[in-house]
Amino acid sequence: MRVKLTCEDCVLSMVFCYLIAVLLATWQEFRYVAPSCPQPIQVWLLGDYFTFLVCRWMLVLLQSTFTLFHRRTLACVSLFTFLVLYPFLVVWTAIGTLWFVQIVKASVLECVRRT
Amino acid sequence: MPEAERTWLVAMWLIVSYILILVLTISICSLTLLTLKERRRIQSHTHLLPIQPPNRLLLPEEQGVLLRHVTTYRSSGTSETCTICYEELEATQRVVRLPLCLHVFHYKCIREWLAIKAVCPCCKGDVLCAFGLETH
């Protein structure tokens, strides 16, 4: 098996690692965007960054050259990507959207109450 | 980080997430289509190929016959690739050129392959028949 790792993939991985590091560094102040709506949006962000990073690595693996003896590995990687990772990403993004809408609604209500 | 900025960051990342999911969906669809196309192409050629013998193990006397067909690779001008490991064949490497179909592979690769299946990895031709060995 020969993995084709391009320069863009390395840059992308580094960017995602940087984003994860920044998120972890600002974890405490990031805690709740709207105090009345305690949705852990930072957990969602961390999960989303990580899932996208793993997704890209899986696609890099799938685009690699597989010899005739590595067909089982190829099947495992494709099944994991298409049946586990991809549906999880879609569901996770939907959850994130829901939390975000709840947070925005709570923030607006807080603003109205203050004024 | 101020509260408004945090909200904006999450909103922006949500938009990026949807775009990335779209890109991922397109790449998965194209990958699936390519695989299906390739499988259909192989299936359309299968009826032209000889009947495949079942999975088997390479016997010691058959390994001897295989060894007799081992040669040192000599380039014919154009570059050739071993379709088992996808490595380019280089001069002085030990290779086996199968009789009849004339497909060429590294000796190590074809020995490992023939221990699983006695057919040519390229054209699915019966290797034992090509080697002049009786198939049971």
- Around Cβ B3, how many Cβ atoms within 10 Å? 13
pLDDT of residue A33: 55
- Segment B49-88, tens digit of pLDDT: 555 555 566 677 777 788 888 888 887 777 888 888 888 8
pLDDT of residue B50: 52
In a domain, A91, yes or no: yes
Q: Is residue A2 in a domain?
A: no
pLDDT at A93: 93
C-alpha span between B41 and A89 (Å, rounded): 33
Pair A4, A62: CB distance under 8 Å = no
Residue A62 and residue A60: Cα distance in Å, rounded? Answer: 5
User: Looking at the domain assignment, is residue A1 inside a domain?
Assistant: no
Residues in A whose CB is inside 8 Å of some CB of B read 2, 26, 29-30, 33-34, 41, 45, 48, 52, 55, 59, 62, 65, 67-69, 81-82, 86, 89-90, 93, 96-97, 100, 103-104, 107
Which residues in chain B have Cβ-Cβ distances shorter than 8 Å to A86? 24, 28
Are B83 and B121 in contact by the 8 Å Cβ rule? The answer is yes
Which of chain A's residues have a Cβ under 8 Å away from the Cβ of B122? none
A59 lies in which domain range? 7-114
Residues of B in contact with A55 (CB under 8 A): 24
Q: Which CATH number fits domain B60-130: 3.30.40.10, 3.20.20.70, 3.30.70.600, 3.40.50.300?
A: 3.30.40.10
Q: What is the per-residue pLDDT across A35-78, written as a single tens digit (0 to 9) for each?
A: 666 678 888 889 999 998 998 888 888 777 655 556 777 788 88
DSSP designation for A20 = H
Distance between CA A56 and CA A17 in Å, rounded? 13
**Burial class (CB within 10 angstroms; exposed 0-12, middle 13-18, buried 19+) of A34:** buried
